[in-house]
Structures are given as structure tokens and as C-alpha cells.
Amino acid sequence: MLISAAAGALFGLGLMVSGMTDTARVIGWLDIFGAWDPTLAFVLGGAILPMAGAWAMTRRLAQPALGEAFPPKPGVEIDRNLAAGSVLFGMGWGLAGLCPGPAMASLVWGGTGGLLFLLAMTAGMVATPPLRRLVALN
């Protein structure tokens, strides 16, 4: 649990230092036809490179140093749920300038907008399973 907490704290600190909790910067990154801000490309590269190395390392190891087994690689199938979830995630990210990780990290500096976003996101997560069951019944 301590290693997980330290990893989460490091992740949150990285989000704050990189500017991912600054909604204006994120919206600037997404505004490719307007006042585009390309600085978050470095954040993307800084995330992809270590993860590619980690995936390469897992091929050579039998098990992780701090766990029982590596999680399975995600599937490559693009289905209706993945496409719809991606569209909704992108719409929320573009409208609010926050996604789940930066929203939680933004709570550290006390923005009420971040808190409101986090509460709305949590409400959506709680409401989704019953809504999915309701839609499946019709």
C-alpha cells in the first residue's frame, strides 16, 4: 500500500508540474485550429517512453518485484462501448479541461471548479451501471 501511495503521489505531482491540472493549458492543447498550445506533447512523450520500456521489460521478467503477476495487456478490439466511452471522455475533457487524474491532483491546490468536476464525475460513475441496465432492458 505504501508503494502504491508513493506512486500515486508521484503521478499527481507530475500532473501538477507538467501543467495537466491547468484547464486553460489543456484546452489550449485541444484547440488545434485556434490558439494551439503544443507544450503538453512533451507530457505525452514523457508518459509513452517509460511505459514502452516497462512493457518491454515485462516480456523478460517472470513476475513483478512488488506483486504476484503482471496485469494482462489490454485487448485490441474496438467495440461500441470503447468508442462511446472514448467520445464521452473526450467531450468531457474538452469541455472541462480535466480528466480523472488531473481532477484529483487539482484538489491539492483547492480549486472549487476541480472539486465540482470531481463530484460530477463521481456521480456519473455511480449512475452509469443502473443506467446501462435500464437501457439494456428496453
Q: Tens digit of pLDDT for each residue in 70-80?
A: 888 788 889 88
CA distances to 14, 118, 136 from 18, in Å: 6, 20, 41
- Please determine, for residue 138, whether its predicted confidence score (pLDDT) is greater than 80: no
Q: Which domain holds residue 58?
A: 2-137
Q: How many domains does the chain have?
A: 1
8 Å CB contact between 103 and 114: yes
C-alpha grid cell, residue 124? 456519473
Kindly report, residue by residue over 100-130, the tens digit of the pLDDT. 877 777 777 766 777 888 888 889 889 989 9
